[in-house]
Amino acid sequence: MGDKDSSQFVKQAQEANRSMSEAMRGLAGTQFKVMQQLAGVQREQFQQAVEAARNQMQLIGQKRDPQEIASIQADLVRQYGQKYANSVTKAVDIVSQALEEYGEQLQKGKKAKDEVEGATHAAAQEGSDAAERTTKKAAASSTKKAPTSGKSS
């Protein structure tokens, strides 16, 4: 392999390595972002549960009429049920967006993989061609220098 060919291979390998590294960083970054966002949704849900329990306790402490308590409890269930449904929708949106980002990152990773395979194939082909040229040169050289057969006395 000539200097130009090995220099080209090194450049291709470096570019492929850079692409793979970017793809891996992208996947890790997406995963970290998703975990943070889902943790935020989980914190919101926990706060809502604490708030609902606190409101429930206040209700029981303030009201004595069972019908009034049932009516207010029904309102609490609707209110916090809607908040919970909204947070679940938010979590689904986060996961959906993450899946799109993962898809994009995987496409980048596939492109980098293809670049690595292309560079490896090109280097292997060049190495094979160089070996063939060397073999041909050696064969040609040995036929030129082969001694003639003759009898020595």
pLDDT digits (tens, 9 = 90+) for 85-94: 999 999 999 9
Q: Pick the residue with more confidence: 119 or 74?
A: 74
Q: Quick: pLDDT tens for 97-145.
A: 998 988 888 887 777 777 767 767 766 677 677 667 777 777 777 666 5
> What one-character DSSP code corresponds to residue 146?
P
Residue 106 has a pLDDT of 80
* Res. 55: pLDDT tops 50: yes
Name the residue among 81, 101, 93, 78 with its Cα closest to residue 40: 93
Domain range annotation of the chain: 7-131
Residue 22 has a pLDDT of 82
Name the residue among 8, 16, 2 with its Cα closest to residue 122: 8
| Tokens describing residue 18 | 């850079």
How many angstroms separate the CA atoms of 110 and 125, rounded?
Answer: 22
Please give the mean pLDDT across all residues of the chain. Answer: 80
Residue 151 has a pLDDT of 53
The model's confidence at residue 153, banded by pLDDT at 50, 70 and 90, is very low
Helices 3-62 and 66-145: crossing angle in degrees, nearest 10, is 170
The model's confidence at residue 96, banded by pLDDT at 50, 70 and 90, is very high
Do 19 and 112 meet the contact criterion of CB atoms below 8 Å apart?
yes
